[in-house]
Amino acid sequence: MISNGCWLDAATREKIVAVVDVKSGFAVHAIAGNRQAYQPIAIGGQTAGDPFTLVAHYRRRGIRSLYIADLDSIVLGQPQIELLERLIRAHSDLDEILIDIGLPELETVASWLEFVQKNRNVVVIVASECAPRAASLQHFKGSLDFSQVALGMDYRQGNFLGGDDSESDWMNHAQQLRIERVVALDVAAVGTSRGPSIAGTCSRIRRHLPDVKLYSGGGIRDDSDVKLLLDAGCDHCLVATALLDP
């Protein structure tokens, strides 16, 4: 693990989106996509797994954007609505909060989506790994404007996870809907501190979607890894492990 975030200069910090994975109310450390084995994160002797402590830790680093993955919703279809609302309310001054809740039944999140509409810094991700086809990008249509919807392009060891449709199908559909943000992640790389393996994929997405805001991460250790992804066409990098030491 990288020590104490000393690699974060001002320019790099502006490009970082700090990651919060929440499972059963706890902030957990994601490693290699093995979600059953994720364990609560302890920061500086504080209560392990408190997501508010984790976000406060990130904010002390000067981070202004968050990516929150609701693993209960992604895996079980059971969104942690109350926790998500509390996190958004507590950090409504942040530049951006990206939230991945998979594709829950709309009736279970209807009131929450109304809440999201009123918080324009919140963006909800449609994750390809949870979807049967690219048309699922319209899952929140009628509940959210597409300016508050992002495409999550998910991979495992380089293989695209997108149901029955190809990577190109998803990107074409995103272009048709004028989706403004794309988040590309290889779940096998997250939390490994081995360096990002997705730079080539990011370059391919950038060529296909030249106008989107592109986010990626997984395995980032320091500013050189951030630069690698920025050079590949990313606008922002998702980071957790390299920020965790007190």
Which tokens sit at 195?
């360096």
The pLDDT of residue 3 is: 39
Question: Average pLDDT of 228-235?
Answer: 98
Helix (H, G, I), strand (E, B) or coil at 102: coil
C-alpha span between 125 and 90 (Å, rounded): 20
- Position 45 pLDDT exceeds 90: no
pLDDT band for position 1 (50/70/90)? very low
CATH numbers and ranges of domains, the chain = 10-243 (3.20.20.70)
Write phi, then psi, for 151 (nearest 5 degrees): -90, 125
Look at 145 and 33; give whichever has higher pLDDT.
145
Amino acid at 242: A
Full-model pTM: 0.93
C-alpha span between 195 and 218 (Å, rounded): 7
C-alpha span between 233 and 227 (Å, rounded): 10
- Position 167 pLDDT exceeds 70: yes
Helix (H, G, I), strand (E, B) or coil at 243: helix
The pLDDT of residue 31 is: 82
- Position 4 pLDDT exceeds 60: no
Q: What is the pLDDT of residues 101-141, one digit of tens each?
A: 999 999 999 999 999 999 999 999 999 999 999 999 999 99
